[in-house]
Amino acid sequence: MQVKIKHGQIGQAIDLLFHLSLKGKQSRHRTTFIKKLTERLQEVEGQRKDLAKEHSFLDEEGNPKMLENGKRYDIKDMEAFQKDVQELYEEELVLEGGDNQSMLMTVKEVLLTSEEAFSGNEALTYDYLCEQFEEADQS
């Protein structure tokens, strides 16, 4: 089984899975899955910051200029920056079988048999995750 999750969906996936009421093996495997997602989310955030620095005006010392008391970078070309960030968010985290097989099968079962009621963005995230696990079966 190979599950692919777009970088732009990782944060919402973590939030949705975190709030599911599970116990035993399902809870343990969900936690392991969330840890893997969180590791990638941190990498993606670091890459997004690197892109922001790359697209920023520089000060006299060659460091990116900051606005709003250091809360955001002074971006030169917002359109180019947003294009690069969108490209980053379209890239995927790929989790494959091996040591992950049992965890992936458990998370799939949790999602596909969930009786939770989702609405709004949670419903979209739930649908996205279900599609990714269903596609993993077809590959």
Q: Work out the average pLDDT over 8-18.
A: 95
Counted domains in the chain: 1
Structure tokens at 117: 């009621």
What is the span of the domain harbouring residue 39?
Answer: 2-136
Q: Give the pLDDT confidence of 15-72 residue by residue, as tens digits.
A: 999 999 899 999 999 999 999 999 999 999 999 989 988 999 888 888 888 888 878 8
- What pLDDT was estimated at residue 131? 94
How many Å apart are CA 46 and CA 57, to the nearest integer? 19
Q: In terms of DSSP H, where are the helices of the chain?
A: 10-18, 24-54, 78-90, 101-112, 120-138
